[in-house]
Structure 1
Amino acid sequence: MNIFIDNKSGAPIYEQIFTQLKSQIISGTLPSDEALPSIRSLAKDLRISVVTTKRAYDELEKEGFIYTIAAKGCFVAPLNTDLLRETNLKKIEDYMEKIVHLAASCNLSEQELTEMLHFMMEE
């Protein structure tokens, strides 16, 4: 498991940990039921606060990417492909809403917007 903290990034440290672990779980780098480092251990390795690490783990658990077993630690949850699909569909809808507003401000027609999408999909 590799986590890199970028102190120059505008993103909070807990969010950087959350994003990187989530990405590693989705890609399969961290397989289902893999034990994660303890909160204290990860905080020590990254030289950050235990509170920051706990927040990242709490967010991952809230979104269903990890689970906790009392006195044993945190583990990678089996991927729920339906949940992952729903999450990604919501993100796509959010991006599309922004695209529609931006296209309207540029007076792009639906046909022009569709052509742009087709062009992007071909690449």
Structure 2
Amino acid sequence: MECKNCMDCTVCPEIKEIEDRFSLVLERVNGRIIDNNSEILWSESSVRFLCLLSHEVVGTIFSKGKIKDFIWFGEPISESSLLQVVHLVRRNLYGGNLEIINVRGLGYALINKEGLVNVSAN
């Protein structure tokens, strides 16, 4: 799966799938992306991370390299930039059924807190 590189995730053809999977209604307001359901702010990078997560089955492990390449189109970025995006998405998803976990030494996976899932490498 590749990003459509729309430069504005809120108009991307994939946005409906992202909104459905994560129960969001995203809209760009005054240059910021906001979820109209919760009024939570999202960064462009965090929405791209959701896009990546939405195209694989729950439990798929994404390496840090794959996440960086997808979000930042292969541009070199610091480890802290990736950690900030993961933290923001975790915080914004808090309280829902889906959660991002760290799979030590492998990367990150989206899991369903309601039931156990098999975690598999992507």
Instruction: Please confirm whether the aligned pair reaches a TM-score higher than 0.5, indicating the same fold.
Output: no
**Structure with greater Cα Rg:** 1
Q: Which has the higher helix share?
A: 1
TM class, shorter-length: 0.3 to 0.5
TM-score scaled to structure 2, two decimals?
0.42
Structure having greater relative contact order (Cα 8 Å, sep ≥ 6): 2
Q: Which has the higher strand share?
A: 2
